[in-house]
Amino acid sequence: MSKLVIEGSRTLRGELTLHGAKNSALPLLAASLLGDSPVVLTRCPPLSDVAASVSILRHLGCEVVTEGDCVEVRQGASCRSDIPEAQMREMRSSIVFLGAILARAGEAHLCFPGGCELGPRPIDLHLAALCQMGVTVREDGGTVHCRAPHGLHGATVTLSFPSVGATENVLLAAVLAQGETVLCNAAREPEIVDLCRFLNTCGARITGGGEGVIRIQGVRRLIGCRYEVMPDRIEAATYLAAAAVTGGELLLRGAQPLHLSAVLSVLEEAGCALLAKSDTVHLKAPQRLGRIRTVRTMPYPGFPTDAQAPIMAMAAVADGTSVFIENIFDSRYKHVGELRRMGACIKTEGRVAVVEGVKRLSGAKVSCTDLRGGAALVVAALAAEGRTEIDRLCHLDRGYAALEQGLCSLGACVVRQR
């Protein structure tokens, strides 16, 4: 099993260009199923989750060619309506294909995405919304059988929680449906805006992307297009935390500062000097970070749950006590046990984590518990005294492209040992 070996206590300095966003590329790949001519996605990050989505598209009948960060999707004449269990289990977010498969094939048979390291991953909001659009749902032994016997039709759908995935599935089901869909309490994440922009470029008629109410007027067909994936705001947050925790300096290129406002204000509170321009963010860290009073994860534009773990690792060596409240997922503190093995002083109770900053962390052998928990271990290892070995890298490789190369280009000492 390969592992990352990190010699800590080196100051990170330099500049980096962000990759495309994993959490936009995945729904965009699912959406590429809907056009009747080729789609080319550029700045598509070379990640295992993207590879998993490509294999699902091929299974569904598409021809997909990947070259570097460019992915071309040519839809097949027909579209299969199932995703094999192995592929569903490989990537729980494959549920985002549900709406697109229903729109193309009129039915969909997928196994439940199942629980994961963040807790249960229910899809009740997805299914309830689709049922309002003419879908019948039958669950049978862990498989969800969805059918739209009379085709998909518009509806007024209100989500009880602004679920990102449910918003994406409604969008993908609505763009080719009969009539208008009004989606209330929609997720406002930048990845939703990117998906709406992509779909409109393909000929959809969507207004309100990024707002609480999105209107989708169904059209008869969508065409293909060439589209650049938005930059990865969570990759940005991770690299900023890495530079901050080592007392370093970082210029991020290809960033969209507006996407990062909640993260930037937390970094500022910790004592970092930040300069945001149109597509760059510059950070200069203090010698020692100050505590962060309270980090509450919330739906966008609140503090992103995906940045909670890497920012907690940064707070672990801050001067003072920081409090984290995880409001989005039920079980997103799995990384705390591994940070404690490095000397972090963190207590959790339910959704609350109290982080008492220590002067120094020590290198240790630790394991990734999930994607962003793994990022937290990397951030902690960069600040720690001595050597840290991080295994179960399959989690990290889902969401960070060329992580060790990026960190080494900033002066870190990181080696992937096969």
Provide the H-helix boundaries in 202-315. Answer: 233-245, 261-269, 308-315
Sign of CA dihedral 249, 250, 256, 260: negative
Residue with the two structure tokens 């009539």: 179
Q: Answer yes or no whether residue 164 interacts with ligand EPZ by CB under 6 A.
A: yes
Of 189 and 404, CB closest to ligand EPZ: 189
Of 167 and 388, CB closest to ligand EPZ: 167
The stretch near ligand EPZ (CB under 6 A) out of 74-82, 116-124, 205-213, 387-395 is 116-124
**Closest distance to ligand EPZ from the beta carbon of 309 (Å):** 9
**What is the distance between the alpha carbons of residues 131 and 152, in angstroms, rounded to a whole number?**
9
**C-alpha neighbours within 13 Å on the C-beta side of residue 150:** 7
Under DSSP, is residue 64 helix (H, G, I), strand (E, B) or coil?
A: strand
Per-residue tokens: 131: 């049922």
**Identified catalytic residue from 44, 62, 79, 116:** 116
Count interface residues toward ligand EPZ (CB under 6 A): 22
Of positions 26, 292, 342, 377, contacts ligand EPZ by CB under 6 A: 26
Q: Answer yes or no whether residue 241 interacts with ligand EPZ by CB under 6 A.
A: no
**What is the distance between the alpha carbons of residues 222 and 240, in angstroms, rounded to a whole number?**
39
Contact 168, 192 (CB under 8 A): yes
Of 15 and 124, CB closest to ligand EPZ: 124
Of 3 and 335, CB closest to ligand EPZ: 335
Strands 13-17 and 249-253 turn out to be parallel
Of 72 and 232, CB closest to ligand EPZ: 232
Which residues lie across from 347 on neighbouring strands?
Answer: 354
**Closest distance to ligand EPZ from the beta carbon of 137 (Å):** 12
Residues 6+ apart with CB under 8 A from 314: 241, 244, 245, 270, 289, 379, 383
Q: Answer yes or no whether residue 123 interacts with ligand EPZ by CB under 6 A.
A: yes
Quote the DSSP letter at residue 304.
-
Q: Answer yes or no whether residue 333 interacts with ligand EPZ by CB under 6 A.
A: no
Contact 313, 380 (CB under 8 A): yes
Of 236 and 318, CB closest to ligand EPZ: 236
Active site residue 70: no
Show the site string, 282-311: x = touches ligand EPZ by CB under 6 A, - = not. Answer: -----------------------xx-----
**Closest distance to ligand EPZ from the beta carbon of 312 (Å):** 14
Under DSSP, is residue 184 helix (H, G, I), strand (E, B) or coil?
A: strand
Of positions 15, 36, 63, 124, contacts ligand EPZ by CB under 6 A: 124
Q: Answer yes or no whether residue 36 interacts with ligand EPZ by CB under 6 A.
A: no
Strands 321-325 and 352-356 turn out to be antiparallel
Instruction: Report which residue's Cβ sits closest to ligand EPZ.
Output: 165
Q: Which residues bind ligand EPZ (CB under 6 A)?
A: 22-23, 26, 93, 121-126, 161, 163-166, 305-306, 328-329, 371-372, 399
